Structure 1
Amino acid sequence: MDIHFEKLANALLAKNHMLSYNQARTWVEHLWEDFEATFAKAGYSYQGKELTERVVLEWIEDNGSHLHLFQSDQASFKELFTTGNRLLH
Structure 2
Amino acid sequence: MQYVQRADRKIVGYEETEYDQNRRNSRDQGKKKFSRTMALILGVVLTLELMIMGAMLFHIDFHSADRIAMVFAFAVLYFGVVAGLTDK
What TM-score, normalized by structure 2, do the two folds share? 0.38
- Give the structure with higher Rg (CA): 2
Larger RCO (alpha carbons 8 Å, 6+ apart): 1
Q: Which has the higher helix share?
A: 1
What TM-score, normalized by structure 1, do the two folds share? 0.37
